Amino acid sequence: MYIIVWIFSIAVFFTILYFVVKNAVRNAIIEARVVTRIKVEIEDEISKTACPSCGGEHDMDFPKCPFCKHRY
């Protein structure tokens, strides 16, 4: 009888542990995706510039505007 109670209690413990860890991992993955999306949005905002000649928006590291070929 004690063995059945012991096995049942272990099964309950590991079931609860499974759901706690599963939720923690899921929340960590969701948070990592949000942080990655925010980083990408910030990098996109920082790395863009507008051409003074045509007003086209492009990366700051371009030596000339890809739209009107204006050199900086």
Residue 54 located in a structural domain: yes
Range of the domain at 20: 2-59
Number of domains in the chain: 1
Q: What is the pLDDT of residue 12?
A: 97
Whether the predicted model's global pTM rises above the 0.75 cut? no
Q: In the chain, which ranges are continuous DSSP H helix?
A: 2-46
pLDDT tens figures, 25-51: 999 999 999 998 888 777 666 678 899
The answer to whether 72 and 64 have CB atoms below 8 angstroms apart is: yes
pLDDT of 71 > 80? The answer is yes
* C-alpha to C-alpha distance for 70 and 64, rounded to whole angstroms: 5
Looking at the predicted structure, is the pLDDT value of residue 63 above 80? Answer: yes
pLDDT band at 15 (very low <50, low <70, confident <90, very high): very high
Assigned domain for 43 exists: yes
Question: Does residue 68 fall inside a structural domain?
Answer: no
Residue 45 domain flag:
yes
The reply to whether 72 falls in a domain is no
User: Residue 27's pLDDT is what?
Assistant: 94
